[in-house]
Amino acid sequence: MEKWDVRSQDADSASADHWDWFEGSPGKLLGGAVCGVIFGFLLQKGGVAKFDVLVGVLLLEDFVVVKVMLSAIVVGMVGVYLLRRLGAIELQIKETKYGANIIGGLIFGVGFALLAYCPGTNAAAVGQGNYDALVGLLGLLAGSYVFALAYPFTSRTLSRWGNAGKITLPELFHVPTGAVVAVAVPLLVVVLVVLGVYAR
């Protein structure tokens, strides 16, 4: 996977003429757009497209974001467990790369606090009329391109530190998935109840 000289790649991929503009059928794209509309609608109705609410969670003063995230995780975790047992879905997870997950995660966090919107909520905030999120959008586009420029470096260094493959918590702790779900779900529900009673 070494990419020392970008110009030595096969001629086929050297020209953008050979790249399609659309990926997936019109039906699939329509499905993606509909799912996006629903996601954006829910984010805004849940109040998490708001600047104050997003900064508030990082100041540990407002927990609406935590309530939304943990509720989604609880429902999704139970659902994924059951649907997998039925054979209805396969896991769609990324490789665990401790170095990249940690360093990238910390950089992401700093950017999140500066912008106050994360990538998903930034899009919802644009729709909501927060004009500063349009500047955030430009920053997100620029940062993505800068990453593409830096990729030959990061893929040879940071992204190679601590690669563990596509592992899950049950595999990490050598316990059945059902056991992890049976412990995590009640735990997260308790956190949600405590937040509901004591936090706003």
138 binds other proteins (CB under 8 A): yes
Tokens representing 158 are 């940071």
20: amino acid identity, one letter: D
Q: Please, which of residues 153-172 interact with other proteins by CB under 8 A?
A: 154-155, 158-159, 164, 166-172
- 129, 174, 197, 198: which one binds other proteins (CB under 8 A): 129
Place of tokens 């950089």: 107
Q: Which of 85, 150, 187, 190 binds other proteins (CB under 8 A)?
A: 150
- Footprint of other proteins on 34-93 (CB under 8 A): 34-53, 55-56, 58-62, 64, 67-77, 79-80, 83, 88-93
To the nearest whole angstrom, how small is the minimum distance from the Cβ of residue 67 to other proteins?
4
Q: How many beta carbons lie within 10 A of that of residue 35, not counting itself? A: 10
Q: Does 174 interact with other proteins (rule: CB under 8 A)?
A: no
For residue 199, what are its two tokens? Answer: 């936090």
- Count of positions on this chain that bind other proteins (CB under 8 A): 143
> With 0-12 CB in 10 A as exposed, 13-18 as middle and 19+ as buried, what is 63?
buried
Q: Are 195 and 67 contacting, i.e. CB atoms less than 8 angstroms apart?
A: yes
Q: Is 49 exposed, middle or buried (0-12, 13-18, 19+ CB in 10 A)?
A: buried
Q: Is 194 in the site for other proteins (CB under 8 A)?
A: no
Pick the binder of other proteins from 147, 161, 176, 183 (CB under 8 A): 147
